[in-house]
Amino acid sequence: MIEIIRHHGTLLLVGSWPNGPLGGIAVTLLLAALGMILSFPIAILIGLARIGEWRWSRYAATAWVYAFRGIPLVMIIFWAYFVLPRVTGVAVPAFATALSAIVVYESAFLGEIVRAGLQGLPPGQLEAARSIGLSYRLAMWHVMLPQALANMLPSLVNQFVSTIKATSIVYIIGVQEVTFAAQQINSFEPDKALQTFVVLACFYFTVCYLISALAQYLERRLRSRRQWRTPPTPTGQEAT
Amino acid sequence: MVFDWTFLTGAGVATKLFSGVVTTLQLFAAAWIGGLAVALVIVALRAISFAPLGWFMRLFVEYHRNVPTVVQIMVWYFGVPEILPAPVQLWVNRSQSEFVFAAVALSLNVSAYYSEDIRSGLRAIPHTQIEAARAIGLSAFAAMRYVSIPQALRIAVPPLLNRTLILFKDTSLAMVIGVADLTYQVKAIENLTFRSFEVFAVATFVYLTFSLAIMGAGAWFGKRFPPGFKS
């Protein structure tokens, strides 16, 4: 295993960079981070539509969430691979194809996190904001969303871990991330498959375990802060 | 774009699709049963207080939760045969072993999550519930049967169903080692007929139907059996 890391460690970390394209775990993290960042605005719209008053936007957001939670990511990648070149009229690089699929896929999961964050706030928050004269939109923007976002932070970090794990499948369309690198190493050294894939697993484990630990820390801190600030309410409101 | 569904009746297309759906469902069923069985063993083993065993079980659960399912499948299919005895390796190379390895990998993966869900269901029932049940004259078995298990199930089943949905979707990952499931057959039919839109639409519809059924079961359970109390 040490040998695999010594000979191919940089391939797993950054691909053939700086002499070639960036790859390895760096691209995995880049893909997951961009996926989260780009899907977040969509997720906020979905979350707002899911709890909103307009019936049709609520139906549309619900359908979006259920559809993309129910289809495997591989199928969404196939769709992106097939649809994107036709819509844009040019050849779309593998990274952009994978990123688009991940943004659509993650927006459904993040949308549910946003919805839970908004619904987890005491209803008095919205009522108070409305009663001091804020419009629904301003009340959401200045009162509800900032509080909900603070409460969602642990879930968002956990979702980041899920996204990192989900990106491992995009090597099938040729994105040069860390699983792709491991497949390359496996083709150079076919008699060391177990070592190669265990090393790959260790890479993912280290990254995901550390980020999960961060999520747990944030959750503990959030819980202690919330206990200090608000006494338990008789209605039993709790953040999910 | 012209939609042409007649390709479905073309040479072997429908057969391929159907065998893909069957393989997907078989893999799902095998991993589900295997995963639940292993999860119950894990729950039992984690109740034993013996430190090294406890560390090992924690490592088992954390490995399966922090490594992508695809990589777990690869470790089993490409890696594990290397350390198996020669006769087993021969069998692996000769026979259709992809399905077995995929089922093992998915079972172990889902068992780690199932065991955590079952444990948190059991932990959520305060011990005073059992004491109260015994105090009003129920036997130990009746206290479990009528008091603690019904309450634990109400807490554990929704996350278990949610994980079952993820397991169903994860069966699509088995295509990376060549299991001829629905996703694999879709790719094969697309290469054969170039009717990408139609064949993707059919597969998406099939996946969505089963996923929505699992989600519906979750919603029904949550409504029919809401948690008894909030801690």
DSSP chain B: ----GGGGGSTTHHHHHHHHHHHHHHHHHHHHHHHHHHHHHHHHHHHS--HHHHHHHHHHHHHHHHS-HHHHHHIIIIIGGGGS-HHHHHHHHHTT-HHHHHHHHHHHHHHHHHHHHHHHHHHTS-HHHHHHHHHTT--HHHHIIIIIHHHHHHHHHHHHHHHHHHHHHHGGGGGGGT---HHHHHHHHHHHH--HHHHHHHHHHHHHHHHHHHHHHHHHHHHHS--S---
What is the pLDDT at residue A237?
Answer: 42
Q: What is chain A's pLDDT, residue by residue, as a tens digit (240 residues)?
A: 788 888 888 888 888 888 888 889 999 999 999 999 999 999 999 999 999 989 999 999 999 999 999 999 999 999 999 999 999 999 999 999 999 999 999 999 999 999 999 999 998 999 999 999 999 999 999 999 999 999 999 999 999 999 999 999 999 999 999 999 999 999 998 888 999 999 999 999 999 999 999 999 999 998 887 765 554 444 444 443
Would you state the pLDDT for residue B1?
58
Q: Where does residue A131 rank: exposed (0-12), middle (13-18), buried (19+ CB within 10 A)? A: exposed
Flag if B71 and A197 touch (Cβ within 8 Å): yes
- pLDDT tens-digit readout, B180-226: 999 999 999 998 888 888 899 999 999 999 999 999 999 999 999 98
Q: How many CB atoms lie within 10 A of CB B131?
A: 10
Quick check: B66 and A161 CB within 8 A? yes
What's the residue count for chain B? 231
**What confidence category does residue B41 fall into, taking pLDDT thresholds of 50, 70 and 90?**
very high
How much is the pLDDT for A240? 39
Residue B220 touches partner A, C-beta closer than 8 Å: no
Rounded mean pLDDT of B146-169? 93
Place of tokens 């952009």: A96
Q: State whether residue A96 is helix, strand or coil.
A: helix
pLDDT of residue A4: 83
Q: Among residues A87, A165, A150, A70, which one has the least CA distance to residue A114?
A: A150
The residue of chain B with its CA nearest to that of A186 is B78
Cβ atoms of residues B161 and B217 within 8 Å: yes
Query: Are B69 and A66 a contacting pair at CB < 8 A?
Result: no
Which residues of chain B are within 8 Å of residue A223 when distances are taken between CB atoms? Answer: none
- First-last CA distance in chain B: 56
Q: Do B63 and A205 touch (CB under 8 A)?
A: yes
CA–CA distance, B106 with B27 (Å, rounded to integer)? 9
Decide if A193 touches B, using CB distance below 8 A: yes
Sign of CA dihedral A216, A222, A228, A230: negative
B198 Cβ under 8 Å from any chain A Cβ: no
pLDDT of residue A238: 41
Q: Which chain A positions have a beta carbon within 8 Å of B71's beta carbon?
A: 168, 179, 182, 197, 200-201, 204
What predicted TM-score, i.e. pTM, was given to this entire model?
A: 0.91
